[in-house]
Chain A
Amino acid sequence: MKLNSPMEVWKYLPGTNCKECGEKTCLAFASLLMERKKKLEECPPLFEPKYAEKGKKLAELLAPEVREVEIGIGERARKMGGEDVMHRHERTFFNRTVLVYDVWDTMKEEELRERVRKITEWKKFYVGEFLKVDAIAIRSVSGEAKTFAQCVKRVAEETDFPLVLCSFNAKVIEEGLKEVSNRRPLIYAADKENWKEFLGIAKRFKVPVTLFSPDLDMLNSLAVTFSSAGIEDIVLDPGTYPEGGGLEQTFSRFVRIRRAGIADGNKGIAYPLIAVPMTAWMVHGSKAENALAASYWEAIIADLFIIKYADIMILHSIEPHSLIPVRTLVANIYTDPRRPVSVEPGLREIGNPTERSPLFVTTNFALTYYTVESDISSNKIDSYLMVVDSEGIGVESAVAGGQLNAESFKDALESFKVEDKVKHKTMVIPGLAARLSGETEDVTGWTVLVGPRDSGRIPGWMEKNWPPETVS
């Protein structure tokens, strides 16, 4: 994107404040355009002949530096690329890394369907929502077009996830595509040998295509060639070497390609990037006793490229120990860094608390708050939650740093008039703030119970400790 402020965007809008876009002013619309919360099409006047020139120019200026490519259809469709910055604090990364998990065409049918279901149904609660993974890659291990096509068909029956069809053999890809041509899968991959066939397929089936070459001159060349043949939905694979100097070089290639695209404005290479952390399994082997080591190494490579510029990646381990941290890292790196760190302090009601319900205490650090809130509400514990102002810092750090102390509890009790609702004058403070319990009792005159160190253990804690004598 070539524009730096809503004012700059505004210059290209009609400026009539006609409200057709649903916003009060063109300027408001301009800032939403910048945030990609509105689309140009939502301002109809811009397409009238007298503004058309400006509209065209604006579309160009607003286009992200890295091309945005979509795979899949409907609700599950995922956008890749579309990035404007090299570092998330410069604005934000827009499209989180698409996590793709593999299946292969030599799997037994039942095994295959089971794995597809597992990938599709996997979920993990995190800060107010369930995290899921994104897509399924189907690898042609057999090398036979028919076997592959049958596998694709079965996978498609089992999931609505976007698909990535993987083979360097164009015939195989084509047979597979016939089964899912209406689902906009990504095909993998064209290289310096087979590229003409892949170009033909991409044109005919109108699907996004991956270009593979660790030689960046060749990769750039392939990209420019495809683009000049009218294919723009391109994903680039510079190769993922899993170890040693190869890994260092891979890191270098990802960073330099993205830099060329964003900082140097080289449109010919400004496409989404794909990483294949799964190559870790090739060095660690497929034996069962090496599986843990391989899954760790795969997660390590995933970590590197989630941060440094992979827009989509293919992984093998669907064990929870790797799924959970990998997906969580994606959530962390791709959240908007401009979102507030803290929530409003105050007294919240969870469920339908009564006079005998517990009063839990936590800080106003957003992450802590959402975690505690969801732990209590998902376990259906009617209670009050007192959110103390810790300057947006988590419990442990705030106790260490002094932002959370006996006085802050006292201030909170008074300013939220907690006594009006909680007659038993008993509060449950976080286990991580245990060292404040004595002083807090002295300063507030309330009874202080020390809760568990992790709010996930509140249900167990309740069984043993609630109601205390002060309440019954």
Chain B
Amino acid sequence: MEKKITLEDIARILDRYDVVELEDVKIKGDVELELSTGVAIPPSVVQALQSMMGVQKEGISVVSEEKGIEELELIPTKFEVAKTEWNGQIEEVTIGATSADGGTREATVTIGGEKALPFYNFDHQTPHPPVISVDCFDMPISLAKAVREHYEDVMEDPGEWAKKNVREFGADMVTIHLISTDPTIKDTPAREAAKTVEEVLQAVKVPIVIGGSGNPDKDPEVLEAAAEVAEGERCLIASANLNMDYERIAKAALEHGHVILSWTQLDINAQKTLNRYLFKLGVPREDIVIDPTTAALGYGLDYAFTNIERMRISALKGDTDLAFPISCGITNAWGAREAWMKDSPIKEDSDWGPSVYRGPLYEIMTGLTLGIAGGDMFMMMHPKAAGAVKRVTQMLFGAKEAEDEGKKVRIEDWVTWK
């Protein structure tokens, strides 16, 4: 007859004889062990059994481990982390003026005022959500297909274009780029460009940004004329740059009550220098916004990101030369070939898929990335991209409307999601 003994039996036997180690023991025949739960076997006995039966170590040692784990308890811990307090604060800047302040805007926009890194609400609540200014131009321009289809009907008319940006795309602000003034494009006279500005100011009631063509010789004259006709509206004049007559632009902004955009190219020291020049000219701190240059995703975004992040951290640490709200020209994202090119020029690449899907995401990701670095204001172009950046930054800011949406999902269920 077959005799069955359980591990428990052996343990009991060994225990009874106070045996710790067995020597010269041989067990012949088939040994069957029944492991019943809830029996605690001292490790020494397990070891003894192992050597006694020549059993593969794993089998039994696992059992003993599992037993050990059964007895474990969670070590209670309180998660703690220090708050970061900074000495510096970013200047608060208001763009646009209502009738109360001598302008004709229906609302104004305020940016800046941060005492912590963007959306680090656990250190200090971000005071204002980022703002989106949608671009329009004073002449039809060539645009990527995905963008063009939204503006085809208004390209000839900057006023209508601006209106569309506000009415259909929910822009907080509108930027009018006076690019036709460039001598190598149309050389539109400054006075005529100023009329376009007036048109836009009449078409929309949101604050506006007035941009030149980027031509360093022509811009001072153009922006001066524009500042004059927009007197009292507290526009953002874009922009003053070190390699042009920034003095003339700054003075015009100062005289006619505008905010000035101080633009440098990925260079902290240049930004400090230009800002100091502006201080010297008497530009008040609350009239300055900086543009440290935006580079597209894949085309220098890392430099732009780190440049902005470093500026913001320096400012929070107390460098008052850099403590200004930051504007980012996110439309630059369309310079990335992946945003608009049909197929990859590199033969070995996997398929790029339809360009109309890629483009907006390039703009969104360029915008959001710089928003996390420290951007307060985004000049954008694709309506979907503008909407998405607005939406996500509102959430990160902690806007009330955005509050409850996400609570409906049990997030761990992504594992079984179909």
A125 touching B338 in the complex, CB below 8 Å, given contacts A89-B309, A224-B77, A332-B298: no
How long is the Cα–Cα vector from A260 to B81 in the complex, in angstroms? 5
In the assembled complex, B122 has its CB within 8 A of some CB on chain A: yes
Within 8 Å by CB of A225, from B75, B293, B354, B364, lies: B75
Establish whether residues A402 and B79, one from each chain, have CB atoms under 8 Å apart when the complex forms: no
Asked if B412 is at the interface (CB within 8 A of a chain A CB), the reply is yes
B65 at the interface (CB under 8 A from A): yes
Are A222 and B74 in contact, CB atoms less than 8 angstroms apart? yes
Residue contact B345 to A459, C-beta cutoff 8 Å: yes
Q: How far is the CB of B163 from chain A (nearest CB, A)?
A: 27
Q: Do A292 and B357 touch (CB < 8 A)?
A: yes
- Residues from chain A with a CB closer than 8 A to the CB of B397 are 248
CA–CA, A427 and B356, complex, Å: 34
- Would A139 and B415 count as touching, CB distance under 8 A? yes
Q: Is A343 an interface residue (CB 8 A)?
A: no
Enumerate chain A residues within 8 angstroms of B352, measured Cβ to Cβ. 320, 324
Q: Does B406 contact A (CB under 8 A)?
A: yes
B77 in contact with A268 (CB, 8 Å): yes
Cα distance, A240 to B414, chains bound together (Å) = 10
Instruction: State whether the Cβ of B353 lies closer than 8 Å to any Cβ in chain A.
Output: yes
Specify which chain B residues have a CB less than 8 angstroms from the CB of A242 in the assembled complex: 406, 409, 411
Cα–Cα distance between A241 and B310 once the two chains are bound (Å): 29
* Chain B residues positioned under 8 Å from A257 (CB to CB): 79, 81
Interface size on B, residues (CB 8 A): 91
A48 at the interface (CB under 8 A from B): no
Q: How far is the CA of A279 from the CA of B410 in the complex (A)?
A: 9
Is B70 within 8 A of A263, CB to CB?
no
- What is the CA–CA distance of A331 and B337 in the complex, to the nearest angstrom? 17
Q: Per-residue CB proximity of A171-196 to B under 8 Å, as 1/0?
A: 00000000000000000110110011
Instruction: Identify whether the interface residues of A are mostly helix, strand, loop, or mixed.
Output: helix
Which stretch (B151-159, B166-174, B300-308) binds chain A?
B300-308
Given A217-B78, A260-B79, A307-B369, A123 and B357 touching (CB < 8 A)? Answer: no
Interface string of A363-386 (1 = CB under 8 A from B): 001010001001100110000000
- CB pair A325–B77 under 8 Å, yes or no, is no
Contact between chains at A87 and B309 (CB < 8 Å): yes
Q: Which of B288-323 contact A (CB under 8 A)?
A: 293, 295, 297-303, 305-306, 309-310, 313
B358 interfacial by beta-carbon distance below 8 Å: yes
Whether B369 pairs with A248 at a CB distance below 8 angstroms is no
How many angstroms from the CA of A329 to the CA of B121 in the assembled complex? 25
Q: Which of A240, A243, A329 contacts B365 (CB 8 A)?
A: A329
Binary flags per residue of B216-244, CB closer than 8 Å to A gives 1, else 0: 10000000000000000000000001010
A140, B416: Cβ atoms closer than 8 Å: yes
Q: Which residues of A contact B24 (CB under 8 A)?
A: none
Question: Considering only CB atoms, which chain A residue lies closest to B310 in the complex?
Answer: A89
Q: Name the contact of A245 in the complex, choosing from B66, B78, B337, B403 (C-beta under 8 A).
A: B403
Closest B residue to A458 using CB positions: B345
Q: What number of residue pairs across chains A and B have CB atoms under 8 A from each other?
A: 283
Interface membership of B398, Cβ < 8 A: yes
Q: Select which of B79, B119, B346 is within 8 A of A378 by beta carbon.
A: B346
Taking a contact as CB atoms under 8 Å apart, the answer to whether A245 and B365 are in contact is no
- A143 interfacial by beta-carbon distance below 8 Å: yes
| Contact between A247 and B396, CB atoms less than 8 A apart | yes
Give the A interface residue count (CB, 8 A).
117
- Tell yes or no: B407 within 8 A of A by CB: yes
Given A246-B407, A325-B361, verify A307-B69 contact (CB < 8 Å). no
Query: By the criterion CB–CB under 8 Å, are B409 and A303 in contact?
Result: no
Chain B residues within 8 Å of A100, by CB = none
Q: How far apart are the CA atoms of A104 and B361 in the complex, in Å? A: 26
Assess the B76–A221 pair: CB atoms within 8 A. Answer: yes
* A312 and B416 alpha carbons, distance in the complex (Å): 20
Q: Shortest distance in angstroms between A207's beta carbon and chain B's nearest beta carbon?
A: 15
B residues within 8 A CB of A252? 120-122
Tell me which residues across on chain B come within 8 A of A459, comparing CB atoms: 345
Cβ-based interface call for A456 (8 A):
yes
- Is B414's CB under 8 angstroms from A276's CB? yes
- The chain A residue sitting closest to B401, CB to CB, is A244
A335, B345: Cβ atoms under 8 Å? no
Could you tell me if A283 and B77 are in contact, using CB atoms closer than 8 angstroms?
no
Most buried by B among A130, A217, A269, A304: A304
Nearest CB on B from A340, distance (A):
11
Contact A229 B353 (CB under 8 A): no
B62 adjacent to chain A (CB < 8 Å) = yes
In-complex Cβ contact of A325 among B81, B82, B358, B405 (8 A): B358
B338 touches A325 (CB 8 A): yes
Q: Flag whether A454 is at the interface (Cβ < 8 A).
A: yes
Contact, CB under 8 Å: A245 / B398: yes
- CB pair A245–B406 under 8 Å, yes or no, is yes
Contacts of A143 in B (CB 8 A): 416
Closest residue of chain B to A214 (Cβ to Cβ) is B411
Residues of B within 8 A of A365 (CB): 300
Within 8 A of A (CB), among B164-194: 182, 184
The residue of chain A having its C-beta at the shortest distance from the C-beta of B264 within the complex is A401
Contact indicator B337/A283 (Cβ below 8 Å): no
Q: Which of the candidate stretches A19-27, A28-36, A52-60, A389-397 sits at the interface with the other chain? A: A389-397
Report the bound CA distance from A15 to B415 in whole Å: 53
Minimum distance in angstroms from B76 CB to a CB of chain A: 6
- B62: chain A residues within 8 A (beta carbon): 204
Interface membership of A445, Cβ < 8 A:
no
Interface set, chain B 359-418, CB cutoff 8 A to A: 360-362, 364-365, 368-369, 372, 384, 388, 392, 395-398, 402-409, 411-418
Residues of A within 8 A of B184 (CB): 435
* 9 contacting pairs across A/B (C-beta < 8 A): A247-B392, A264-B81, A283-B409, A324-B358, A367-B300, A397-B265, A402-B243, A456-B341, A457-B345
Using CB atoms and an 8 Å cutoff, list the residues of chain B in contact with chain A. 62, 65-66, 69-70, 72-82, 84, 119-122, 182, 184, 214, 216, 241, 243, 265-266, 293, 295, 297-303, 305-306, 309-310, 313, 335, 337-338, 341, 344-354, 357-358, 360-362, 364-365, 368-369, 372, 384, 388, 392, 395-398, 402-409, 411-418
Other than the known A212-B412, A229-B69, A229-B72, what 10 A-B pairs have Cβ atoms closer than 8 Å? A106-B418, A245-B406, A263-B84, A266-B81, A282-B413, A319-B357, A325-B358, A393-B265, A397-B293, A459-B345
Listed from nearest, the 9 A-B pairs whose CB atoms lie closest are A246-B406, A456-B345, A243-B406, A320-B353, A321-B357, A244-B405, A216-B79, A244-B406, A332-B302
